[in-house]
Amino acid sequence: MPESEISKALTARAGDHWCALPLPRVRRVIHALALHPLPGASTEIAGLAEVDGEPLVVLSLERLIGAPPGPAAEFPVTLLVEAGPEHEREIVGLAADEAGDIIRVDEAAIVGPSRGFVRGETRRDGGIVRMLDPSHLGKEDG
Amino acid sequence: MSTAPSGRRATTAWLILRRRGGLFGIRHRALAELTGSRRLELTGGESVVADELLGLAVGLESRPFPRCLNRFFPETVFGLAVWQDRPVILLEAGAPPPECLRTASDSSEKADDGDEIR
């Protein structure tokens, strides 16, 4: 019997949903950045920011996954993640309401239809964690 | 779609302007005429409207707009940069400017100071 594939992921809350991002794709977790408007962008883009002298496009994780509003964010964060296909990774920011723990995920326990950026769900501590796939960020089904 | 080579510090001068809260950069050589109002005529025949002209910037280091995010911002831009600690959208010479720059300002528009969203 083949062993389950275990991966590590960082959890984060967006609105009322807990999500998890594959740890190899997470570059940094920083306190929520000051955002500036990007006129003409869709609502998924929360704004533009500056990090260490570099420009950064920041997306709203809550809007990306369609999460309902949740508890007020006491410690909002911006997650710097590597998005896009494997051979063409680009750094983007994801605005989240809070960062959680690093968890171990049994790939065999991820269920539900993959919808691009949301690749499925798994159960953790009595709740549901939505597994995200940054390689599909921005695709039509993601 | 972004076209900027990454990490190149050019000697291009960019006119920095604010429009609807965002900062935009237009290549100085792309300007045909500054009319003295907030309307700028570009060499390609387009005109853009600014809420405020902020200054001229030289030596901006451009970065490409992330291709994976084109679906969320389908405008053609040269890239992104930082000017005075603020992110700037650099416009592509010869390409139609973003819609927000092409729309004429009218009396019903609120003044937008372009400061942080949060």
Q: Which of A36, A57, A140 sits opposite B117 (nearest CB)?
A: A36
Q: How far apart are CA A65 and CA A37, in angstroms?
A: 21
Can you give the pTM of this predicted structure? 0.88
Arithmetic mean of pLDDT, A11-22: 96
Contacts with A24 (C-beta within 8 Å, 6 or more apart), sequence order: none
Residues of A with CB under 8 A from a CB of B: 32, 34-42, 44-50, 53-57, 59, 83-85, 88, 90-92, 137-140
pLDDT digits (tens, 9 = 90+) for B68-77: 999 999 999 9
Q: Which residues of A touch B87 (CB under 8 A)?
A: 36, 48-50, 55-56
Please list the ranges in chain B whose pLDDT falls under 50.
1-3, 105-115
pLDDT digits (tens, 9 = 90+) for A105-135: 999 999 988 878 999 999 998 999 999 999 9
What ipTM, to 2 d.p.? Answer: 0.89
Specify the pLDDT at position B89: 97
Whether B117 sits inside 8 A of A83 (CB atoms) is no
Question: How is residue A140 written in tokens?
Answer: 């039509």
Arithmetic mean of pLDDT, A10-33: 96
